Amino acid sequence: MAVEILPTHSPVLFEQAVARAASVLRSGGVVGLPTETVYGLAANALDPKAVQRIYDIKGRPRRNPVIVHVAGMEQAQACARRWPAMAETLASGFWPGPLTLVVERHPDIPEVVTAGGATVGLRWPQHPLMQAVIRACGFPLAAPSANLANQLSPTSALHVARELDGRIPLVVDGGQCQVGIESTVVDVTGSQPKVLRPGMISEAAIRRMLGFGAASAPAGAGAGAGPVENAGRVSTPGQAPGGPESDRGMLRSPGQLERHYAPRARLRVLEWGSEQALMEMLGREKIGDPSKVVVLAHTRIPSTGTLPHVCVIPDDPEAYARALYAELHRCDESGAEWIVVETPPAGPAWAGIHDRLRRASAPLG
Ligand code: TXA
Ligand code: MG
The response to whether residue 147 sits with its C-beta less than 6 Å from ligand 1 reads no
Answer with the residue of higher pLDDT: 88 or 250.
Answer: 88
Q: How many angstroms separate the CA atoms of 159 and 316, rounded?
A: 24
Counting ligands in written order, the one closest to the CA of 148 is 2
> Does ligand 1 lie within 6 Å of residue 253's CB atom?
yes
Phi, psi of 67 (to 5 degrees): -75, 140
Predicted pLDDT at 30: 98
pLDDT tops 80 at residue 140: yes
The confidence band for 260, taking pLDDT boundaries of 50, 70 and 90, is confident
pLDDT band at 346 (very low <50, low <70, confident <90, very high): very high
Neighbours of 67 (CB within 10 A): 26
Q: Does residue 114 line the site of ligand 1, with CB under 6 A? A: yes
Closest-CA residue, ligand 1 atom 12, reads 144
Instruction: Decide if pLDDT at 241 tops 60.
Output: no
Which ligand is the nearest neighbour of the Cα of 130? 1
| Residue 97 · residue 76 · CB < 8 Å | no
The confidence band for 88, taking pLDDT boundaries of 50, 70 and 90, is very high
Looking at the chain, the whole-number percentage of residues with pLDDT higher than 90 is 82
How does residue 246 score in pLDDT terms, banded at 50, 70 and 90?
very low
Q: Which of 82, 185, 194 for a ligand 1 pocket mutation test, highest count of atoms within 8 Å of Cβ?
A: 185
Residue with CA closest to ligand 1 atom 31: 253
Query: What is the number of the ligand 1 atom nearest to the C-alpha of 66?
Result: 25
Q: What are the tens digits of pLDDT across the range 181-231?
A: 999 999 999 988 999 999 999 999 999 999 986 544 343 333 444 444 444
Q: First CA to last CA across the chain, in angstroms?
A: 31
* pLDDT tens for each residue of 17-53: 999 999 999 999 999 999 999 999 999 999 999 999 9
Q: Which residues contact 168 (CB under 8 A, 6 or more apart)?
A: 3, 30, 31, 32, 41, 57, 160
The model's pLDDT over 93-138, given as tens digits with 9 standing for 90+, comes to 999 999 999 999 999 999 999 999 999 999 999 999 999 999 999 9
Q: How confident is the model over 307-321, as pLDDT tens digits?
A: 999 999 999 999 999
Distance separating alpha carbons of residues 174 and 192, to the nearest angstrom:
36
Residue 159: predicted pLDDT:
98
> Percentage of the chain surpassing pLDDT 70?
87
CA dihedral angle for residue 251, residue 35, residue 80, residue 205, rounded to 10 degrees: 80
Q: How far is CA 353 from the centre of its chain?
A: 11
pLDDT value, residue 284 = 92
For residue 248, what pLDDT is reported? 43
